[in-house]
Amino acid sequence: MISAAPLAGIGELHPGDDLGSAVVAALAGQPVPTTITSDHVLVVAHKAVSKVEGRFRSLADVTPGPDARALAIAQGKDPRLVEIIFEESRGIVRAANGVIITETHHGFICANAGVDASNVRGDDVVLLLPRDPDASARALRARLGELTGAYPAVVITDSFGRAWRTGQCDVAIGVAGLRPLEDWRGASDSYGRELHATVIAVADQLAAVADLARRKDSQEPVVLVSGAERHVVSEDGPGVAPLIRAREHDLFR
Amino acid sequence: MISAAPLAGIGELHPGDDLGSAVVAALAGQPVPTTITSDHVLVVAHKAVSKVEGRFRSLADVTPGPDARALAIAQGKDPRLVEIIFEESRGIVRAANGVIITETHHGFICANAGVDASNVRGDDVVLLLPRDPDASARALRARLGELTGAYPAVVITDSFGRAWRTGQCDVAIGVAGLRPLEDWRGASDSYGRELHATVIAVADQLAAVADLARRKDSQEPVVLVSGAERHVVSEDGPGVAPLIRAREHDLFR
């Protein structure tokens, strides 16, 4: 049994805020006050993390270069936004139909390098992904440990589009205290036959269940997931890296 | 709050079995007997559906043609399996590194046209995707209605790999009684700003939560999801089609 409960009452977050304290206060303020344990997974929308880390950019501060201006015209975007997308990216994967897909410096392949203008105050301010989402996840996990004595797994998420399928799914962009993949290769299925190609993207499926548990307009960036304890580990673990397909094994870039 | 509980006790399924009756019997036999309602979503691994629909193929019955033999050599696969993959596909999207990605007749882009040898009895027998998974979902929903008076949403799933990310996530391949996408375009975020690009793949995230709720070796193909009632509708609805990106909007095939 898996369950996912969004935490009401996190409230507006600002650069320098203590996200761990905000989570602990929200837990205490739930209709049924909740105690976090080291068996839980805390799934956090990256916007909450990016805000406390001050990852804002004002379009007014950006002078787009010629490449950004050209791509902005071709794809119908603000050239200042395209310049920021360039700054956040290792390279462009595709640009067509008004969509710019890049590889971020973290290695994520997503639209607009994850730069986001929704759920951000101010008309010309955009929010970037955390600089090092694994480090952000580890820091939040450590802070929760200081405050509560419990070390839940932490998954930081963003909503990504997919090749071939419409709609976005939330995926993990930062992980601490969790095995991000469950590898059944070499194990047996229920008939004792070897499962050849089964590696489950646990961290991404945790991101998905958290997203299902809230509404996009609810301002509930933190979701507490129970029932996933077999994936939770005591050390911080490898972070999100195992979820990123190496370029040489990727047939679609 | 979203919760997902796998149903124990479905047992082995055979061609012609009544999956609806098996689900109702399993619900009654849970440690806490469960009553299904029209607010629930029943998420069903396609293998359960394919088995009752008799979608088995024996490799011994297949004579591979020259194209299948050539691709089998190039990708290190059984040529009879490759012939079946061809039969199940509209076309090959990529073949490299021992992986064959095709577009199935349904329009899904996945490895091996969804043809699967794990969790199937018999060494040279493989299991195909249901011929029309939306029809399978509608039929199961109708049968559950006959047996219980309740019409839960039904989502039929498979585990697909993804471009750019490692690990598999379960996704919807058949849908009845559910809005498969939640479209927030034109709606406002929590600051009253329009959300431009937010369409959530609800059916795929439901597939993911169901997969998280069980183990790959548990033989629990059916998972009951609660808390997703805002996505459930009384009519059967559009099925899985809205989740398939049209070729002309797809940058990655």
Tell whether B64 and B136 lie within a shared domain. no
Pick from B78, B103, B127: which residue ends a domain?
A: B127
Tell whether B121 and B208 lie within a shared domain. no
Instruction: Give the pTM.
Output: 0.95
- Mind telling me how many Å the CA of B222 is from chain A's nearest CA? 12
Tell whether B46 and B90 lie within a shared domain. no
CA distance A108 to B163: 11
ipTM over 0.90 threshold: yes
- pLDDT per 10-residue tile (average), chain B, 253 residues: 95 96 94 91 97 96 97 94 97 94 97 83 86 98 98 97 96 98 80 71 98 88 97 97 93 85
Tell whether A176 and A220 lie within a shared domain. yes
Among B170, B191, B219, the residue with its CB nearest the CB of A119 is: B191
pLDDT on residue B117? 73
- The conformation of residue A195, written as its DSSP 8-state character, comes to -
- The conformation of residue A16, written as its DSSP 8-state character, comes to T
pLDDT on residue A211? 96
Burial of A12 (0-12, 13-18, 19+ CB in 10 A): exposed
Whether residue A212 and residue B209 make contact (CB cut-off 8 A), yes or no, is yes
Sort out which chain A residues have CB atoms less than 8 A from B167's CB and list them. Answer: 180-181, 199-202, 204, 242-243
Domain of A95, CATH number, reads 3.90.1660.10
Tell whether A94 and A40 lie within a shared domain. no
Question: Which domain covers residue B82, as residue numbers?
Answer: 57-127
Instruction: Give residues with Cβ within 8 angstroms of B19, minimum separation 6.
Output: B13, B44, B48, B49, B52, B140, B143
- Mind telling me how many Å the CA of A228 is from chain B's nearest CA? 8
**What pLDDT, in 10s, does the model give residues A191-234?**
666 665 689 999 999 999 999 999 877 889 999 999 999 999 99
Q: What angle do CA B70, B73, B75 make, to 5 degrees?
A: 105
Which spans in B38-187 are helix H? 46-52, 66-75, 79-87, 133-148
- Which secondary-structure segment (H or E) carries B19? helix B19-28
| Number of separate domains in chain A | 2
pLDDT on residue A120? 65
Pick from A106, A127, A148: which residue ends a domain?
A: A127
CA distance B163 to B161: 7
Among A213, A228, A251, the residue with its CB nearest the CB of B99 is: A251
Tell whether A75 and A121 lie within a shared domain. yes
Tell whether B234 and B119 lie within a shared domain. no
- Mind telling me how many Å the CA of A164 is from chain B's nearest CA? 5
**What pLDDT, in 10s, does the model give residues A113-148?**
999 876 566 678 999 999 999 999 999 999 999 999
pLDDT on residue A219? 86
Whether residue B212 and residue A2 make contact (CB cut-off 8 A), yes or no, is yes
Pick from B83, B106, B127: which residue ends a domain?
A: B127
Domain of A10, CATH number, reads 3.30.1330.100
Strands A41-45 and A153-160: parallel
Tell whether B82 and B141 lie within a shared domain. no
Tell whether A162 and A233 lie within a shared domain. yes
Tell whether B121 and B217 lie within a shared domain. no
Query: For chain A, what percent of residues have pLDDT higher than 90?
Result: 82
Tell whether B116 and B230 lie within a shared domain. no
Whether residue B163 and residue A251 make contact (CB cut-off 8 A), yes or no, is yes
Residue A253 falls within a domain, yes or no?
no
Structure tokens at B246: 């049209």
pLDDT on residue A242? 97
Place of tokens 């929704």: A118
**What pLDDT, in 10s, does the model give residues A51-66?**
999 999 999 999 999 9
pLDDT on residue B198? 85
CA distance B178 to B154: 7
Mean pLDDT of A149-175: 97
